[in-house]
Structure 1
Amino acid sequence: MAAAAGGYGDILRAPHAARLLAGTLVGRLPNGTAPIAIVLFTRSEGGSYSLAGALAAVYGVANALGQPLLGRAVDLRGQPRVQLPAALVSAAGMALLAVLGITPVALAYAAVAVAGLFTPPLEGGLRALWPSVLGAEDRVHRAYALDAVAQEIMFTAGPLLVTLLVSLWSPAAAILVINAIGVLGALSVVVSEPSRTWRSAPREAHWLGALRSPGLLALLGSFFFVGLALGSITVAALAYAEDHGDQSAYGWLMAALGLGALAGGVVYGARQWAGAPERRLRVLTLLLALGYLPLTLTPGVPAMTVLAGVSGVFLAPAIACAFIVVDRHAPRGTVTEAFSWLVTTFGVGAAAGTAVAGPAVELSGTAASFAVPGAAGFAALLVLLATRRALAAPPGAGRGARGATSATGAPAGENDRNGAAEAGFSTGHQA
């Protein structure tokens, strides 16, 4: 752990790194907290749970559609021209919901659709910047792991911040404050030198963009099922808590899952890994799937909490390794779009997981619902195994992010080739 802390400290001490990571996390707060904020606001306005769920679903679908489109715009136009305007429009959509309420319903749906569609692709943007900011391959890989760890912190702290703001003021105020904070986070990123000077590599004109890469398609197919596994756990955990008559058990299970992922990500990022990341991703996905299987035992709350923690250990490492694979397989000039597709696919999978786990609970009970994440994990592995040829390292691996222009005007990784021990990217990002 001490080595990991030292390695992450080295990353955060690099010029611009801490600011970019913090700004991205703050800028993503509106997106990370939107589902709970929309539900709490709708209920406070007298809306039904069905309406609350429908509004949250519309936001999620719009977000899934918008991320790759905005990611492509970033690759074509640069980060400041896309990220900040998108953040302002998205915040305006949520502000419209907070000010006008849920009537008329059509306007409420339109407001959340706009907010979701224009959510800035800050995740993909940050991962496109790391190579130009950090240079050396091992530092970039560690930054990807730090990115995955930081996400776990955000998704734990974000809902807590929403509930705190609701208790202090109101759900409407919480929406306004969170989205104002999000705009400030996006602003912090886009006015930084790396973001202002970053340019994507020249791209081949093609309507499919990043999706013309067979390797990227294979990865997206696999991570749809990883998202499905995670989404199904949220429903299964709630059913488990209800079975035990203890609603707090849900919070314990989800916190343990996040803590396990946090620990796994910290350890994974503490060392360099030899070999092709595609092969490593297959191993991590297998371990992730195996970690879900004991959840079907549904023991008492203390033991189940431990199992939930174990089930999360390989999540952040698998996501981190997938980032590397994205970079290796993203066609030249499409890196932000490629990362945004990963966000979209994972999110759609998570939504599908919530839809699948519900009927599983009703038809076969809680234990069967916990079989869904395990089955989804093995489905993700099968996709990777079935597409091994597509996922073979492409010529010029790593050119997705490496081909971009750095803050100094040189190709990302160029400084590394000229003056350091590493020779550019042979591996890429985490998923």
Structure 2
Amino acid sequence: MAKIIPFKAVRPTRDKVSLLAARSYESYTAMQVESRLRDNPFSFLHIVNPGYKYQKEISGEERYGLVRNRYQEFKEDGIFMQDEKPSFYIYKIVNRDGRKFHGIVAAASVQDYEDDVIKKHEDTLEFREVIFKEYLKTVGFNAEAVLLTYPDNDKLGAIISEIMQTRPEYEFTTTYRDTHYLWNVDESALLEKIQKIYAEMPALYIADGHHRSASSYLLAKDLKVENPQHTGDEPYNYFMSFLIPESDLKIYEFNRLIKDLNGMTKEEFLIKLDEYFRIENRGMDYYKPSKLHHFSMYLDGEFYSLYLRKTKYQINNALDALDTHILYVTILKPLLGIEDLRNDQRIEYAHGKKDLAYVKTVVDSGTFAVGFGLVPVTTAELRQIADEGLKMPPKSTYIEPKLRSGVTVYEF
């Protein structure tokens, strides 16, 4: 049974939301960050980049304390307000391509995370978990929701659709031409109805935010030890999540870019590939795979299609069938010598929103020797990996939607 609860969000006033909402800090270039900090005093980037006020790069614990200070200043100045009643927040995004995403912002249980009711499909890096845990512990709030998903539910879909017929609390369009909507739901009977529907779900699945959820779990463990009056109902026992149906997820592939052929010539490499793949030279024709176990390769000015020889490769579980894993165990590790997919400096990743033209450009430039294209992971594959307790290789999925930071803030 999945447990989610409403919470009293801290959020921007209606007149400031479009100015305050920001993408994840890492998604901006240095020039973009500079222009937003210079020209927009209400941007959430001022909170997460507090050194700008002093024209100084600040990191570590000193930065965490200043983030907390900037956040408090935004509250003191009336840029942020807090809802009086615990609420669920219906959130809808219509992107520039017309694709729609909708779901519920709520607080999810760290106990569910520990008990594997909230299921994971990716490994995390311990040092990143610890760093973000310490950050959360100092600042006392979470402004980026973990993206959770679940199989489509007609009852929940009907409730959300009915609410979205009313006037939203927020409606704003970003410079990326995505339009965001938010509805505040605080009627007690409706809150209970929504909670009951989630309680009937055997599991929720992390789509995006494995490190954020892991850090929230570690924080809850620390604060539980430090609190002799711990009851389990404290805000630190939950973390902010955006829960959306599986059909709303948009999953892109992550293409692989390798800097060299591990000492092999092009001809030697192709001969070794032939053991596991049927290879066809496509010349200058852009080849983008459309089926599982089909791959594209760009090498020395030409595209190739690689079809897995199924008689050669054995599939025993959901991970064995995953294309990112197949590429790793048949090419990246044995042929190109890349064992550590997270830390090896010879491999980089380009998500599928950067098309094969990007792969071709960076290989032609000499920055990389070879690029591989894959088909996106499906929601069914994601769910099966999680259900079997397995973990995908890093950078297996690039998932939308991406919420804006600061639209709802969860305090603990």
Alignment TM-score > 0.5, same fold: no
| Structure with more helix by fraction | 1
| Structure with more strand by fraction | 2
TM-score by structure 1 length?
0.23
Larger Rg: 2
